[in-house]
Structure 1
């Protein structure tokens, strides 16, 4: 796969020509995006980059390899926009007096037409030079583009004015030309159309400049992503010496001081702090981290000093992966865009033919040559397919950029079309609807003992355990007591299938399975039944061989899951819960989230089979998962959605990645999709409708060429402006915990995730 930056494209006809030339090469499949200027080319190894570039150049355009993301800057883009702004300003200074004098008869004076003629010359030659050059280039390659129409319109208007001034009587000193919305003649004196000759390039250049600004704006999210990472990093033990991030290697430890960005993905080895992830994931709440926690490059250290061991650098980081996903999405092309490009590819030659037929018809019908030329020029000018070429890519560009800001990364535009049709959402449980981490959810203590004190002793004896239940209890003990360092444990031993034992502060402490414990007091027995019903894992705490507490740990539901499921139902999407866990755990989560369709104990192959059966029923299925066991279902669904923290296999199989672990992002993706496709349809209706109305008006002599140019430019600006509204679309709903009353105690976030099915020890 090779990407090329193609220069010189101005309309969908240009896109169609470049694609056609590239696709003629054996084994090559190319898609070209007008809004980004990027050509994405799949080609066999024997077809080299030089051949691809030369093919584009033979089509009449420029091509080059895009710079690496780390070196990419917006300087060239800024220089191009500055040049366009300068050309536009000079054109405006020359053209506006011509427009005013031509349209306001009261201001016309002797020889006014010759002053206008002098001012129009530079506009026709210098200001319109890009149109003429591209039109000639297209002519050499036997093709017509929007620039062909503009160039022909300007030249025809100017040459007619030259004829009128020198041979048609319009050069008389006292000639006055009344303003009219329609092309007219006055007493046998031919009218000059210098206002059309200068108005067409002025309005087209204005439209092009506004389009360039709009495209620059739609790419702001991608540029922001490439600039998020830190530029330099301080290695541990280097004496405050800083090196470029590009020199950092996996396994090296680096310092992150308060206020600095984390240089790359890694694991905290020393220190504790709060991280601001809003730049990376959009999450506004700071996340507390400490030793053992995974961190992502680009996050801002809001608190204390951290030492981080790098686990991924360069292109392997999450930030680089996000940037690639956004870039790929903006370079892609959806089915609806291909249809518009196909139409635009034959539209320009058809309009040139129509203009020639209009000229011949008017002359053959005995009309004045002035009227015939004016009608033909108006057809050429008004029919430029800018709006048609920009209708779809600008909307997708804005949507994918705004989606990245919402934490929704879209792999390719076709995913938006498929998501629009989804009516069934199959959710994996662990790590998707739930946090995927074991957390203390309930504590039952016999009367007379302090909950925090018991939890402190249990956490101390579990400190030497690597079991997910043990880690959950240690985290809960630290949170409940506020102590970072728990008491020392002596004589620690772990018995497989039973639990852990040790001596803490002179007392024998055991945390064991209820099966291995003796008879339980009534309060603890009731708590055990409640935990089993909820699908939680319970352990018994014994002090000096006496059962004193029951601790229930489980994979808790994400706070945003309940609101997200409810919202999806309102949008007409039925939620389905599927998990490899047992029925009790599945029913508990389904009950909490009001999901009626539940499939428990399902293998990875079974998940794919479930998706296949739903699709066989005629449903359009989206699968939301995060693990290796979800990859087959993600790939077989109409649309796959995965969590950004998921496995590489899941992310590779999915069409959409949720950067932040928030189910509200699923709703945001659906709402953004529907708004995007509504915007695209509105753009296409306008682009087609505009030509349906204006071309017949121009052909029948009811449209002045100057106003034709204004209408053509306005149509492009309106399409781009309508697409830009997607950048401010608020797709992120407010969320709340699905059932906070069910959780008695919550631990601090643990970066290490539990397994799908944890057995009792």
Structure 2
């Protein structure tokens, strides 16, 4: 498919089949079809193929990547040959005897080979008695070249040393405009390449999901022996082994062992979850502790990871593109122009020679060539996204700018988005007679032997305050509880209150809110406790405040506990809070907010946010997050402040997207206005083909210059706005306009 008109045509054709309901998505090059059993998939494929397109049945896994290499090669040829054509045609100082023949030779591969995608699409459209923007591009390029070649061969202008002239009534048109065909193809190939790149990225999120899964799994057979088998061979009920550091192959229940599992990609929980016999685990999560034996409960398409993948696919299928406006208009505009050109030629044949009639008709075709229309969106996107990159805002494309101006609600993930996603020591409470340095020193000496995130946070804190650590001997870890070692000749225990109690050491009950508490004892005597927690980013509070000041409603949406969410919300200020939600529930919450009439932007960083990012009207990911979240989003925040992602860039991203959309709308207005004015003038014979080419170039230049204004875009100051009323935990407040 080459434009939205192609997608619409295929969709209408499929929907004419009895019992079939089809939705064709141009951005992802897929058709979602509901069909009765009496209509096999082969018939659906045959229907699409009969229309001149290609199709294949669905297959497991993400669709293969669609590269833009063929377009790059065509664009490279077009640019290489068009540059000298434009210079020779427009700069008299460099022209030499016979330059016209050189220009004709250089233009041929541009119009013929580089422009073939447009010609092919025009032929397909013609077979079905339809037209699109490709039809005008093809006709404009071919007619301009054919006319110029005829003028070069059939008039004295083609002979060296003879000056070209123009006579409106009588005689032949001696003007050459090879540069029109070359420039038209080159400029529109640039737009087509930008579009292809966006389409390629559309499937990257699903490919990222596939990369999370393991390819091989260690299965225990009936004799208890281990054997490595492909993941596809794993069946429900099979026992498989997960070693420390490995991803869990599929959803299951722990049968043997205890460990900590990093499930942040699914739950948003910053601290690894302790699991033991009977605990459920999810495929794709990482075992960061001891060895586990897991019994598979769901495999293949039934796993939670696969379900998230389907959610991302469904959400992306509904994305719209502003480019469809130009294609939909072209579906009516192109036949209209062709009728006008033919009517013009017929009318002029009555009062003027054939050459004059052909010249006027050619002028109509050339002046109507939608170069400005084709450039209106991609040039604004190119400049706008380039400016965004300078400001640390990566805006993906038209789908982002299309909805940004309507955003009224901004939903934030917590862990890794509003917070750093990394644990740090937040409190050190030594027992009586023990100082903080001593407590940290002994705890860190033991934890230095562990890879647990809480342990690493303690080691980092001790490194800042204690210097070098003593050596630890006879280290022993109890998965899910704690660890112990001999330090300076004394037995030191570090871990949960239960871990120390099991070893006969009484420790006080501690309420540290959302922080993880680690107790420390030496030779049976408590030394105190240390708390570690995930902290807010420095820019989190200013970012939420700035969005509220801009009149937007912030929402905190997290898979973390209600207590952790409440603690964060208290620091952020008035904000809606929805806690303890699964990735599926996150996407469902976004749908619920949209059903209430809100236009929602989602800001997230993890794999657990991917479906919600794709489901939102506008997905915003932080650059330090997972590749899947970034690929499922429309905007990525990479601007840093004090070494961390600057969340205030979210407000700037919305402002830049709105400015880009305004620019696209102005471009489209002038492109349509140009055609509305110039087509009647050309039909009346007041515009020569050369002037038509110049006018078309000027309209394109106007679009480009207007787009370049975005390169000077600056975030506007945001006026203060009343803060929304706080709401109860877990409640979604009604929309207020």
Matched ranges for 1:440-459 at <5 A: 440-445=425-430, 449-458=434-443
Q: Give the C-alpha shift of residue 622 in structure 1.
A: 4.7
Cα 1:502/1:121, change in 2 over 3 Å:
closer
Q: Give the C-alpha shift of residue 693 in structure 1.
A: 1.9
Unmatched 5+ stretches in structure 2: 218-229, 235-239, 251-274, 276-283, 285-290, 295-299, 502-506, 716-729, 731-737
CA distance in 1, matches of 2:378, 2:76: 23
Q: Give the C-alpha shift of residue 380 in structure 1.
A: 1.6
Correspondence for 2:337: 351
Correspondence for 2:253: none
Q: Give the C-alpha shift of residue 343 in structure 1.
A: 2.1
CA distance in 2, matches of 1:337, 1:728: 24
SS in 1 for 2:172: coil
Q: Does 1:573 align with 2:563?
A: no
Q: Is the 8 A contact 2:170 2:353 kept in 1?
A: no
Cα 1:409/1:316, change in 2 over 3 Å:
farther
Q: Is the 8 A contact 1:325 1:410 kept in 2?
A: no
Matched ranges for 1:142-291 at <5 A: 142-146=129-133, 148-149=135-136, 177-178=164-165, 184-185=167-168, 189-193=170-174, 195-196=176-177, 198-211=178-191, 214=194
Q: Give the C-alpha shift of residue 407 in structure 1.
A: 11
Q: Does 1:374 align with 2:359?
A: yes
Q: Give the C-alpha shift of residue 378 in structure 1.
A: 1.9
Which of 556, 569, 574 does residue 596 from structure 1 map onto?
A: 574
SS in 2 for 1:206: helix
Cα 1:368/1:351, change in 2 over 3 Å:
same
Q: Give the C-alpha shift of residue 569 in structure 1.
A: 3.8
CA distance in 2, matches of 1:315, 1:616: 28
Cα 1:421/1:319, change in 2 over 3 Å:
same
Q: Does 1:141 align with 2:132?
A: no
SS in 2 for 1:453: helix
SS in 1 for 2:29: strand
Q: Does 1:41 align with 2:31?
A: yes
Q: Deviations over 1:256-288 (max 9, x none)?
A: 9xxxxx9x99xxxxxxxxxxxxxxxxxxxxxxx
Q: Give the C-alpha shift of residue 686 in structure 1.
A: 1.7
Q: Give the C-alpha shift of residue 441 in structure 1.
A: 0.9
Q: Deviations over 1:293-342 (max 9, x none)?
A: xxxx9xxxxxxxxxx99x9xx99999999999999999874164444432
Q: Does 1:29 align with 2:16?
A: no
Q: Deviations over 1:432-459 (max 9, x none)?
A: 5345676431113367644232234456
Correspondence for 1:685: 666
Q: Does 1:675 align with 2:656?
A: yes
Aligned residue pairs total 645
Query: Normalised by the size of structure 2, how large is the TM-score?
Result: 0.59
Q: Give the C-alpha shift of residue 346 in structure 1.
A: 1.7
Q: Is the 8 A contact 1:510 1:542 kept in 2?
A: yes
CA distance in 2, matches of 1:723, 1:251: 57
Correspondence for 2:288: none
Q: Give the C-alpha shift of residue 42 in structure 1.
A: 0.9
SS in 2 for 1:444: strand
CA distance in 1, matches of 2:6, 2:377: 15
Cα 1:629/1:500, change in 2 over 3 Å:
same
Q: Give the C-alpha shift of residue 41 in structure 1.
A: 1.0
Q: Is the 8 A contact 1:440 1:472 kept in 2?
A: yes
Q: Does 1:706 align with 2:690?
A: yes
CA distance in 2, matches of 1:428, 1:118: 59
Q: Give the C-alpha shift of residue 348 in structure 1.
A: 0.9
Q: Give the C-alpha shift of residue 689 in structure 1.
A: 1.7
CA distance in 1, matches of 2:171, 2:703: 37
Q: Is the 8 A contact 2:409 2:600 kept in 1?
A: yes
Q: Is the 8 A contact 2:172 2:356 kept in 1?
A: no
Q: Deviations over 1:80-124 (max 9, x none)?
A: 544565577668888987x579x89x9999xx99x8999799789
CA distance in 2, matches of 1:383, 1:546: 88
Cα 1:664/1:391, change in 2 over 3 Å:
farther
Q: Is the 8 A contact 1:493 1:502 kept in 2?
A: no
CA distance in 2, matches of 1:719, 1:424: 32
Matched ranges for 1:512-661 at <5 A: 549-577=528-556, 588-593=567-572, 595-597=573-575, 620-622=599-601
Correspondence for 1:276: none
CA distance in 1, matches of 2:588, 2:204: 41
Query: Normalised by the size of structure 1, how large is the TM-score?
Result: 0.58
Cα 1:100/1:422, change in 2 over 3 Å:
closer
Cα 1:253/1:136, change in 2 over 3 Å:
same
